[in-house]
Structure 1
Amino acid sequence: MWRIAAATALVAVVMNLLITYYPMLGPGDAAQFLSDYLFGLSVMRAPEDVLAEAWDSLIRAPSSSWSRVAVGVNACVDVVVCGIGLLKALGLDAGNNVDHDTLQSREDLTETFSYFMEKGVAAERFFADKKLFQKIAQTASELPGAKHFVGGNAALIGQKLSTNPNLTVLLCGPVGPKLHELLGNQIIVPPDSLQAVDEYHLILEYQAGDTLGETKAPQANRFIFSHDVSNGEMNEMETFIASLEEFEPELIVLSGLHMMEGQGDEERNRRLQEVSLLISEIPNEISVHLELASMTDTTYMNTIVEQQVLTLVNSIGLNEQELLFISQAGSGPHSSQEHWNGAPDIGMVSDIIFWLLKEYGRINTRKDSDLTRVHFHTLAYHILATVDGYWSNQISSVAAGARVAGSQACGTDTIDPSKVVLNSPKEFVLSQTDAVLKNKKMTLSPTNPVRVWQREGISFFITPVLICVNPIRTVGLGDSISAEGLLYSERK
């Protein structure tokens, strides 16, 4: 005990000396300086090992946990294959790198896959030709190494949540025989959600360095496409809402809006209005999280924003593409840029999240919105932002989400430091638009992995991610990140 006391006293003395002789350092900066110095002394330990240990020490269960969670409404069977291998099996050669909003042919598939592979970013598209899609799906299923998994954001989130023995999970979605078998018995599926035929999604994965013609992947990722009718119309939404009264959940996780993108404008807008009305009927005491996914139609995203869908939920989860897309649709900050150049700039990301919560969230005296939480995830770092006074335990939440990203991508139960790499920015500015914050910098380090700052009643939490060097499976990472973050979150 005396050694602990002596060490504590020594740290306090050093901190006081730093603040005395370097008055520009605040207590937090002085602590960071000392933390980085001590880390430098421990050169025998890899930063990845130090970061994983720091997360473990930070993550704490909330004082009040969810016990019943309802998840809906998109579900399917994912057929995961090597993307380049499938294209070769289909007799397709490399073509131009062109992004097609909707896939009409084999050539559209090749060009769009190559377009996103060159950027190393995830994307999802609708394949319009049903018969051709079925032929491609059969080829994919029979390809050597093809694997079948639970698919669809709702089913993936439900599957992840169900690994917690303290949770009862209800899943509503188009659940066919194969999917029901993959889900197992730990998830409750309402009888009305069971159907005779499964919906299939094809997941074309690639690794860093893979080549298709002259295109080379800068990092591992995946491209998804499907011809999905049930999920494309969110047919299970009514069943989902009808099941809530009997199930009595404390938390609802909703996804599938992106699946309606392939419909015609009139039909899509009509269905979106119906879905919005159904969401508005959920009792206020039930927390609602909306998981967004890849979209390409700015008009559709603008319709989602204009119909105030975001204001009907308490929390949203999204990645860098979806965040920029919302800003473009709503003419928000940095909306003039077409895409991110490499890793998204942290200052720009925080600007868009701040605008999102200020414009559409329950901030200050605004009472016509329930949105108070945004969970943003990208390859190298995660940011959680909450309106002050509505959520707690968010340091644990953002750290837990980042931790599961590093372990799941590598297929390990816990972080294996030898299989991951720390590649997040070491220093960043808090904003690119705010006159004060754009000149304020923060640092991220393995010993102090979660940094926090405030901006006009909104708290930001950021942590780096340990990136898997040779990922086993990239599908569903965002869903697992959001699910894990919600498990450690507590709504006040």
Structure 2
Amino acid sequence: MTAAIKYMGWITGCSVFTAFISIIWQAFLSLQALNRTTVLLTGLLALEGGLRDFKKAAYEPAPKIAIGYGACTDLQINATEFLAHYKMQIPTVSPDLIADEVHNEKQLVESFAYYFKNGAAAERVMPNTTLFKELIEFAKAMDKQHWYMGGNAPLMAVRFVLEGADVLLGAHMSKKLRPLLPKEVRVAGEEIPEDDIHLILEYKAGDIWGPYLAPRANRYILHNDKNNPFLKSVEHLTEALKSFHPQLLVISGLQMMDMFKFKAGVREARLRQVQLQLTSQRRDTLHHFEFASYVELQLLQQLRQYVLPYVDSLGMNEQELSNLRQVLQHGRTTLATDWNPRIANTLDQMRQVFISFLEDFHDKRREDTQRRLISRIHVHTMAYQAIMTIANSKWKHTKAAAAKASLTAHRYVCKTQFVNPESAMQMLDDSFATSAQEKAPRMRIDSANPVPCWNEYIQYGHDLQRIQVEICVAPVLVCRVAKKTAGAGDNISASGLVAQL
């Protein structure tokens, strides 16, 4: 009996000691992670501040930026709470069941469940006006709801102003929405009686809906727009550009034309007006196209024909990058992809997209002298920012731009201007491969080099011509408790663009 008691005492003592060591070890790891985050934050802030001081010392005037098109009102609610109160039946997820359009409740929950499970952002049109209005009224009745000014162009315009730019916005909006814009933003577009509403179903990492767990914070957007698909402000913006003479023209919001039922030839005619707007600008005006969640292959092919050949820069997230690559190389679209892709895979996809545009430009520039060569691609993911520019192009300060985009990501999602290391986490290791190819060089992320940059040559064409590019990758200090994801990409892209002018 005495031996058994001694044995049990020895077991208990060992358990307590093991638990104590485990607690100390976990505390040590947490302290190490906090120290690494603090060091990295210091490096990112130094790059951001250095760029600000450089521009101030150089007496650079405020960059002039024009952006279109459209605006809306965002009604943001918690996705899982909304669906639970609405008592929608939880479906079985199958990619084969995902509809391009959402006509009824069954298609809504099937589509939402798929993107929720994959942690992917999605935006879908709901042609069923009756059901859409019912969902809006139900959302209005919920205790926790938030109303915001929405639309890619207005959100980017606000960010441009915050970063010190002189901004012209092409958008049609109501008297109620206009005061939400900073007074510094000039608006080219008609006043409308009522704004389109977008229903934003937001969810956080770890949210549960039935058997599904969200791997990251994101959003699912529903819309039933009556104004934005027609790009009504294009002509107004084109006229205003004649006297504004921007340094940068940004095209966004064209995803609102996705799956919309136009009369024959109407959409093509509107896209030709966008093309005319682009080609009528001075050659020294840079053009940027901001991607979004596109579904319809025909629209993407039309963008490739009428719009993309006339821009210098592309902005997108990891889902949109994969979709664009599929369209360019295989003529098809894709559903949700890896929500946290390896840097090596993202960089390879960026190279493939860049090569496709390079080859297209060199094949067709003689027959169309207005065409432009893509000289900048910015991909923003939850874990990092990757910016590729043609070396010695008009795009400046790539390293600082990546750092700025990274800090903007944290500040926007956490809804704070102060970046607290304890509120952030890193998802990247101390080094990464620059390609998924064998023996690809590796880059380190450390206090001396928080944003690794390097130059490389990319080969293209049958005769294997070469062009030199600069690539910078900035780790993101991921917000631990996301407060808002809708509009994050717009703010991230806008802050990176301003930094490079």
Q: Please tell me the TM-score bracket, short chain as reference.
A: 0.7 to 0.9
Scaled by the length of structure 1, what TM-score is found?
A: 0.84
Where 2:176 maps in the other structure, the secondary structure is: helix
Aligned to 2:401: 397
Looking at CA atoms only, which structure, 1 or 2, has the larger radius of gyration?
Answer: 2
Identify which of 73, 84, 87 aligns with 1:91.
87
Q: Distance in 1 between matches of 2:108 and 2:499?
A: 39
Taking the TM superposition and a 5 Å limit, the aligned residue runs for 1:88-127 are 88-97=84-93, 98-127=97-126
Name the CA distance, whole Å, in 1 between partners of 2:79 and 2:68.
Answer: 28
- The question of whether the paired residues in 1 share the 8 Å contact of 2:272 and 2:306 is answered with no
Give the secondary structure class of the aligned counterpart of 1:185: coil
Counterpart CA distance in 1 for 2:338 and 2:453 is: 25
1:57 paired with 2:46, answer yes
Gap change, CA 1:324 and 1:396, over 3 Å in 2: same
Q: Amino acid of the residue matched to residue 452 of structure 2?
A: R
Tell me the residue number matched to 2:443: 442
Map of 1:371 onto structure 2: 374
Matched, 1:79 2:80: no
Provide the rounded CA distance (Å) in 2 between the counterparts of 1:109 and 1:246.
45
* C-alpha displacement of 1:458: 1.2
Secondary structure of 1:371 counterpart: coil
State the one-letter code of the partner of 1:158.
A
Q: Which secondary structure does the structure 2 equivalent of 1:124 belong to? A: strand
> Which letter maps to 1:205?
E
Q: Could you say which residue in structure 2 is the equivalent of 1:224?
A: 221
SS at 1:79 equivalent: strand
Give the match's secondary structure for 1:383: strand
Partner Cα separation in structure 2 for residue 361 and residue 407 of structure 1: 35
Q: Rate the CA distance shift 1:189–1:342 in 2: closer, same or farther, 3 A.
A: closer
Q: Give the letter for the 1:80 counterpart.
A: Q
Residue 428 of structure 1 corresponds to 432
- Residues 1:336 and 1:442: Cα distance change in structure 2 (over 3 Å): farther
Q: Distance in 1 between matches of 2:297 and 2:320?
A: 11
In structure 2, what is the equivalent of residue 286 of structure 1?
A: 285
SS at match of 1:149: strand
Q: Is the 8 A contact 1:73 1:254 kept in 2?
A: yes
Structure 2 CA distance, aligned partners of 1:221 and 1:420? Answer: 17
Give the structure 2 partner of residue 22 of structure 1. Answer: none
CA distance in 1, matches of 2:302, 2:436: 28
One of 472, 484, 491 as aligned partner of 1:480:
491
Partner of 2:329: helix, strand, or coil? coil
Q: Which whole-Å CA distance do the structure 2 matches of 1:142 and 1:270 have between them? A: 40
CA shift in 2, pair 1:91/1:340, >3 Å: closer
**Which amino acid in the other structure matches residue 48 of structure 1?**
T
Deviation at 1:364, TM superposition (A): 8.8
Whether 2:253 is the aligned partner of 1:242: answer no
Partner of 1:387: 390
1:154 maps to which residue? Answer: 153
State how far apart, in whole Å, the 2-side matches of 1:74 and 1:44 are. Answer: 43
Listed as ranges, the matches of 1:31-50 within 5 Å are 46-50=35-39
Q: Counterparts of 1:92 and 1:394 in 2: how far apart (Å)?
A: 47
User: Measured at CA, do residues 139 and 446 of structure 1 come closer, stay the same or move farther in structure 2, by a change above 3 Å?
Assistant: farther
The answer on 1:413 being equivalent to 2:417 is: yes
Of 43-52 and 233-242, more deviation after overlay is shown by 43-52
User: 1:321 — aligned with what?
Assistant: 319
Task: Determine the C-alpha separation between the residues in 2 that align with 1:136 and 1:444.
Answer: 46
Segment of structure 1 superposing worse, 443-452 or 206-215:
443-452
CA contact (8 A) 2:297 2:333 kept: no
- TM-score, with length taken from structure 2: 0.82
Range with bigger deviation, 352-361 or 53-62: 352-361
1:478 CA drift (Å): 0.6
Q: Is the 8 A contact 1:429 1:441 kept in 2?
A: yes
Structure 1 340/91 Cα, relative in aligned 2: closer, same or farther at 3 Å? closer
Structure 1 regions of 5+ residues with no counterpart?
Answer: 1-39
Query: How big is the shift at 1:470?
Result: 0.5
RMSD of aligned residue pairs (Cα, Å): 2.5
In structure 2, distance between residues paired with 1:65 and 1:343: 38
* Deviation sequence 1:379-429 (CA, Å, 0-9, x none): 001100001121211111010000111121111112111111011243322
Q: Does the residue aligned with 1:415 lie in a helix, a strand or coil?
A: coil
* 2:327 and 2:333 in contact (8 A); partners too: no
- Aligned-partner Cα distance in 1 for 2:381–2:45: 21
Residue in structure 1 matched with residue 211 of structure 2 by the alignment: 214
3-state SS, counterpart of residue 180 of structure 2: helix
Determine whether 1:310 maps to 2:308: yes
Shift of 1:193: 2.7
Contact 1:177 1:198 in 2 (8 A): no
Question: What is the CA-CA distance between 1:308 and the residue it aligns to?
Answer: 5.4
